[in-house]
Structure 1
Amino acid sequence: MNTTTPTREPVPEKREPVLNTVDRVTELCFGLFMALTFVGAIKAVTAGEDTGRKLFLAALGCNLAWGLADAVMFLVRTLADRGQRLSLALTVKREPDRAAAVRALRDALPKALEPLVEDDELELIRARLAAAPTLPPRAHFRRDDFIGAAGIFLLVVVSTFPVALPLLLVKDHVIALIISRVLTLAMLFGAGFALGRYTGAGAMKAGFAMTLLGAVLTMAIIALGG
């Protein structure tokens, strides 16, 4: 009789997405709103045969700048969050009093989760941290952080095109603006649909809610002279 225990194959580590659905949708909507607002704001003061090209370049330049700023702030936020988590881990690892270390872990829990987590479960986490051979002294950037920042930059910039491209391709600026706003509302519906399905809030409901938000913003721009 063979009593040899079969070797368990290592389970491949699941790779988390650099940007989750909420990040992607919110950045896309941010870029759409920026381009829509900017195009509406400068339309009234821009005239001439070259208006479409000027509007397109102006909107693209606006979103290039905001995309860069948003990408940099993503890196700052990511490093700050990682540093906070590392600081907690180092505090728990170095704390000789087990009860104090468990309290530190409990204080870091979100309020909604605090009643659901027992001290025994936190003690297991404390024990693992205490047994960890080494922890980095400070937080560092990782390759995925820069990939995420590049993704945010591209999302904000790419969202310019459905808003501003009709102004470049359609000579009649009134029709171009109508096409631009219809495309924007369609993209907002798609973004809301994806967000609603991800959060469980109802895909269609969230899609229409995001579209309504875009419509209200568009009417506000028109009322303000856009």
Structure 2
Amino acid sequence: MSTITPPVAHTEPERRKPILNTVDRVCEVCFGLFMALTFVGAVKAVGAGEDAGYKMFYAALGCNLAWGLADAVMYLVRTLVDRGQRLKLALIVQREKDQAAALRTLRGAMSDTLEPFVEDAELDRIRARLAAGAAEQQRANFVRDDFVGALGIFLLVVLGTFPVALPFIVIADSKVALIVSRVLTLVMLFVAGLALGRYTGAGGAKAGIAMTALGVLLTMAIIAVGG
């Protein structure tokens, strides 16, 4: 008598979650652009001379190196704090004997966006899994991906310098270089807004125009104070 072999379940390989999401990546590039744009304007306002272009390039680069380092460190701080908060929440639920109190704790930790869509029955299943789980570690620690993410933020902020500052060491005429720098910045801001708009479903073109308008307003403010 032949035996029937049960079908083999095919499981797709687990996709690796990106260390930095779209919003993180786009926002960090925008931070770099805004920082370089404002700093170039400030240096232009106080300095001139034959090597003014190089001064503006190195000033913007130095500014964004410092900003990128600070932002990367703060990313590590936020990551550790968030991980510690999640660990604390899990420990509270595991140790809470009152089911209703545990549910209130979980609901209070939810974001305002998701909270209205989660019913108590669904939340109780999460509580039950946490309560049945093994005791978690007592403190939050860094993992390798945290440092990879911090490095990514640092590079994104620093790379945002070059479209703004590079024309000053490529084009001899500083006035033309400044115009090219600002046009490149606005183009990159439009692309950044386009990416955010598509990610959020708010409309890529509208978001791109809004981000460009923000860049124009910032540029006008810089010019108004002498940049």
Look up the SS of the partner of 2:46 in the other structure: coil
Look up the SS of the partner of 1:148 in the other structure: helix
Which residue matches 1:98?
99
1:134 deviates by 3.2
Which residue matches 2:69?
68
Which residue matches 2:124?
123
Look up the SS of the partner of 1:47 in the other structure: coil
1:47 deviates by 1.8
Q: 1:115 and 1:215 mapped to 2: Cα distance?
A: 39
Q: Which amino acid aligns with 2:103?
A: V
Describe how 1:1-226 pairs up with structure 2 within 5 A.
Answer: 2-226=3-227
Q: 2:144 and 2:95 mapped to 1: Cα distance?
A: 29
1:3 deviates by 4.3
1:9 deviates by 4.3
Q: TM-score, normalised by structure 2?
A: 0.96
Query: Percent identical across equivalent pairs?
Result: 69
Q: What are the Cα deviations for residues 32-57 of structure 1, in whole angstroms up to 9, with x where unaligned?
A: 00000000011022122111111111
2:25·2:156 contact (CA, 8 Å) conserved in 1? Answer: yes
Q: Which amino acid aligns with 1:5?
A: P
Structure 1 unaligned residues grouped into runs of 5+ = none
Question: How many positions carry a matched residue from both structures?
Answer: 226
2:164·2:184 contact (CA, 8 Å) conserved in 1? Answer: yes
Q: 1:125 and 1:84 mapped to 2: Cα distance?
A: 17
Q: Which amino acid aligns with 1:192?
A: G
Look up the SS of the partner of 1:86 in the other structure: helix
The range that moved more, 95-104 or 175-184, is: 95-104
Q: 2:170 and 2:112 mapped to 1: Cα distance?
A: 52
Q: Which amino acid aligns with 1:211?
A: T
Q: 2:61 and 2:216 mapped to 1: Cα distance?
A: 22
Look up the SS of the partner of 1:193 in the other structure: helix
Look up the SS of the partner of 1:138 in the other structure: coil
Q: TM-score, normalised by structure 1?
A: 0.96
Structure 2 unaligned residues grouped into runs of 5+ = none
Q: What are the Cα deviations for residues 11-48 of structure 1, in whole angstroms up to 9, with x where unaligned?
A: 42221111111001111000000000000011022122
Q: What are the Cα deviations for residues 99-123 of structure 1, in whole angstroms up to 9, with x where unaligned?
A: 2111111111123322321111111
Look up the SS of the partner of 2:194 in the other structure: helix
2:95·2:131 contact (CA, 8 Å) conserved in 1? Answer: yes
RMSD over equivalenced CA pairs, Å: 1.2
Q: 2:46 and 2:92 mapped to 1: Cα distance?
A: 58
Q: 1:94 and 1:135 mapped to 2: Cα distance?
A: 11
1:85 deviates by 0.9
